[in-house]
Amino acid sequence: MFTALTKTTKYFSVLFLLSLGCVNVFAQNNQLWYNKPAEKWTDALPIGNGRLGAMIFAGPMVDHIQFNEETLWTGKPRDYNKKGASAYLPQIRKLLFEGKQKEAEDLAQQEFMGLLSETGDRSKWVKEMQSGKGIQGNPASESYDDKLWKTIQVPSYEGWEAVGLANLDGAVWFRTTFDVPENWLGKDLVLDLNRIRDQDFTYINGQLVGNTDSNEPRKYTIPAKLIKKGKNTIAIQVLNYYDKGGLAGYKDTKKKIGIYPVGLDVEQGISLVKTWKYKIQNEDPPEVAQYQASYQPFGDLNLYFKQTKLPITNYRRSLDLSTAISKTSYSLGGVAYEREYFSSEPNQAIVIHLSASKLGSISFDAELSSVHRKSEIRVLKDHSIALTVQVKDGALRGESRLTAIVKKGTVKIINNKISINLADEVTLYLTAGTNFVNANDVSGNPELANIKALDGLKGKSYAEVKADHIKEYQSYYNTFSVNFGSSENENLPTDERLEKFATSNDPAFAGLYMQYGRYLLISSSRPGTQPANLQGIWNDLLSPPWGSKYTTNINLEMNYWPTEVLNLSALNDPLFKKIKGLSISGKETAKEYYNAKGWVLHHNTDLWNGTAPINASNHGIWVSGAGWLSEHLWEHYLFTRDKQFLENEAYPLMKESALFFEDFLVKDPKTGWLISTPSNSPENGGLVAGPTMDHQIIRTLFRNCIEASKVLGKDEAFRKDLLTKVQQIAPNQIGKYGQLQEWLQDVDDTTNKHRHVSHLWGVFPGNDITWDGDAKMMNAAKQSLIYRGDDATGWSLAWKINFWARFKDGDHAMKLVKMLIKPAGNGAGSYVNLFDAHPPFQIDGNFGGLAGIAEMIVQSHQGYIDLLPALPSDLPFGEVKGLCARGGFELNINWDKGKLTALEVKSKSGGICKIRYKNQAISIDTKAGKVYKVSGELKAL
């Protein structure tokens, strides 16, 4: 049994102070806080331990905690590769060389894409729905009695899920009426519904007038003979197979759906924007074929409080980045209430602790639920309930358990809820597990993770659990600190600081944003977990944007840009394990599609390590994912000088990726260069021969493999082969507008504002183009970015911050920081909880922005440490401790009034440390473990 809650607040405070690491976190601005509860998911505050994540809404009377477990996905282990696809490779290449892009894309779409998952019998289901299975009578009939039907707002562009039918796929009938004026009689009418998701059978007065199964606008002509004076009936059977459903109407809500005479428009007709009657006919449509799987939400915990409804005062909710603890506090009826929430890695549980200033004041019901249709609650002993879920059309299932530990008061299970009355203190432990073992094994027992976690909590007080959580978390967080000075906005709630940041002087908010990014990475990527996906580990939707997968043509990689430079190197572990898994499935893809050695990864992957091309041939056939991920392996070695890691983990994977490209590269018949084809410049310009980004990645990979083989003293023949080939790869080229060409041909459009700026990969995160190496090419890259413009989606803004930092234009980089950290509204920016808005939410923008600010302060990709290379005028003061540089160096940097004042360099592995600041340079012969002090004039002290 669990021990009673006997530890005092004073005792815990001592433990808390003792647990603090070497960095003085109290000197930092480390809190997000608000004076009102979350209204939307993107207002809520995230917590996570790498595996278990939750979003805290913090309502005083009803608290909503939406939670995830990182391995709950759709899909199952299967073969993603189309057998024998390589037979079509020569023909696709030939068409591209002949300039027949459309023909190449058509052939590739037909013969070169990955395999879809299984699909259900759609035609059979449609026939059953049309025959009336699951519903009484004929709802299309004009005289059908719909008095007992419920109502729903129509239209809803975000699907019927947004207006009350959450997570529903299936068949739903909609009915309404409209009154026809006498002067419309004898005229054909237009029924303008625009978009319906996915298929509709539309009836007027019982007669079918339209049936569409696509995204095409619905604009049906109604013959005059079907219309009668007075009341007329519209009945629509909507069949929704996947994702959003219902009558969507127009994205621009100013445009109405409606009915009007031919020759007029909807503004001169009858609006159908109103509540309609609806009836669900069926909730089990046939399975929809998918190229890859989607990350899933697990469940929801709701706390319903029983306090007297008096005015609530002193409300505050917060997230302390230094302890990874969220708090909610308020006063009610003369009693001060407080809740603490955190996701414990040592104890593998989401922990919620409730306390009050007056004994016997805590009374609430705790309820578990899930958006999964296949879910149920069961009662366990020891004041516990369990939620079980089964993913639709997939192999994965999960179980979570909620256990209440109560000091004084009473606890009962009533109607599958934990009911607590008049308690002094309460601690809730929420655990979860699935049957996922690995990408090829789903034989696990979901109960075991719960049993193990709850067994580990037995005998521990809340204070001990909290102290263990803080100690483990701070082992990562306290390796870095940042102080950009103070501002008058520091005392404002975070949402108000966000609104003012772009137009006020608040440098500390940029520091807070950096630490928040580090917090998010620690919370979504611990050693032993899955990598952070498009949304980290936080998702509340069954059909999340882009499946909340791992998009490998930038987004997955961007998630891990901060790890080395921001002193979070250990958090690469999930990424490196993922790379190893992908290399196994990628070998099969390399063989089936390209008849090549080594491994290949296209532009997306998922929990099941799919590596085949997906979606559409004009962007899905991109071959450089393995090459880009190999860069992360090499960077880890550069930052740590861990030779054992290089030999045993990094180099074998890098070499296999290079072996693929050795086989894959072909001679361009016009130039004689080795080029990459078929591929694309993500996700811009379609299927081509020779995108610049590919060549930068491959050239860099070959160079890294050459250096690694020298360090390890092996593979001399392989090294020589790469040395020959690296000289033959198509070089970077400057086009007619003075720009870095995005493609082999000079076809760039200077008006193109595409969010991907892929051909600048060699500037960042690569080092194929540098100021020292080729200033002329660097200026061409800069010209390309100027043409592309500043405005972009969230993650694209983040990438551009890093470009401008590498261009050494700190003020321009800071301009983009302010664009990234502004209220999202309907465009890019940050949500109330500072999640990045693509829109919608994508966490890569947070991580990319964090890396970009670090690049302003230190760069080390040219063989030396470059201090304050892009310091913006908005950050005149700084104290940054724990920044890391290539070569195995850790830096503490101070500057004031825009000038370096002090530097400390800790050498982790020894060796020569070259440092530059403006026009000064110094070289230090370091020894491992020693710290070296340097003055602002770059003089050794």
Q: What string of DSSP letters covers 567-620?
A: T-GGGGHHHHHHHHHHHHHHHHHHHHHH--SS----SEE-TT---S--S-HHHH
pLDDT confidence of residue 28: 42
Both tokens assigned to 29: 């601005």
CA atoms within 13 A on the CB side of 336: 5
* Positions of E strands within 819-864: 829-830, 836-837, 858-859
pLDDT confidence of residue 166: 84
Residues whose CB falls within 8 Å of the CB of residue 436, separated by 6 or more in sequence, listed in order: 71, 72, 73, 396, 442, 444, 607
Q: To 5 degrees, how large is the angle CA 786–CA 857–CA 323?
A: 115
Average confidence (pLDDT) over 826-844:
96
Pairing of strands 865-867, 911-917: parallel
Q: Percentage helix, strand, coil, to 5, in the chain?
A: 30, 30, 40
pLDDT of 147 over the 50 cut: yes
pLDDT confidence of residue 3: 40
**Angstrom distance (rounded) from CA 785 to CA 732:** 15
pLDDT confidence of residue 825: 86
Look-up: residue for tokens 């999960």? Answer: 398
Closest CA to 765 of 533, 558, 513, 534: 558
pLDDT confidence of residue 789: 96
SS3 628: helix
Look-up: residue for tokens 């929420």? Answer: 430
Q: Where do the H-state alpha helices sit in 112-143? A: 122-130
Do 329 and 313 meet the contact criterion of CB atoms below 8 Å apart? no
**Angstrom distance (rounded) from CA 560 to CA 58:** 30
pLDDT of 182 over the 60 cut: yes
pLDDT confidence of residue 29: 74
pLDDT confidence of residue 307: 81
Q: Which top CATH class is 9-75+293-477?
A: mainly beta
pLDDT confidence of residue 23: 38
Q: Which residues on adjacent β-strands are paired with residue 263?
A: none
Q: Tens digit of pLDDT for each residue in 279-312?
A: 999 999 999 999 999 999 999 999 999 987 789 9
SS3 402: strand
Average confidence (pLDDT) over 242-266:
94
Average confidence (pLDDT) over 589-596:
98
pLDDT confidence of residue 21: 38
**Angstrom distance (rounded) from CA 750 to CA 872:** 28
pLDDT of 22 over the 70 cut: no
Look-up: residue for tokens 């924007």? Answer: 273
pLDDT of 925 over the 90 cut: yes
User: How would you label 625-639 residue by residue, b for 16+ Cβ within 10 Å and e otherwise?
Assistant: bbbbbbbbbbbbbbb
**Cα-flanking dihedrals φ and ψ of residue 276, to 5°?**
-115, 160
Pairing of strands 325-332, 312-320: antiparallel
Average confidence (pLDDT) over 848-872:
98
DSSP letter for 415, please. T
* Domain ranges for the chain: 9-75+293-477, 122-282
Q: Tens digit of pLDDT for each residue in 130-142?
A: 999 999 999 999 9
Q: Tell me what percent of the residues of the chain surpass a pLDDT of 90.
A: 94
CA atoms within 13 A on the CB side of 937: 2
pLDDT of 20 over the 60 cut: no
User: What is the pLDDT confidence band of residue 13, given thresholds at 50, 70 and 90?
Assistant: very low
User: The domain 122-282: what is its CATH number?
Assistant: 2.60.120.260
DSSP letter for 261, please. E
**Angstrom distance (rounded) from CA 436 to CA 395:** 9
Average confidence (pLDDT) over 623-640:
98
CB atoms within 10 A of CB 202: 23
Average confidence (pLDDT) over 437-464:
97
pLDDT confidence of residue 319: 98
Q: To 5 degrees, how large is the angle CA 157–CA 240–CA 214?
A: 75
User: What is the pLDDT confidence band of residue 577, given thresholds at 50, 70 and 90?
Assistant: very high
Q: Tens digit of pLDDT for each residue in 681-713?
A: 999 999 999 999 999 999 999 999 999 999 999
Q: Tens digit of pLDDT for each residue in 447-457?
A: 999 999 999 99
pLDDT confidence of residue 675: 98
Q: Tens digit of pLDDT for each residue in 215-238?
A: 899 999 999 999 999 999 999 999
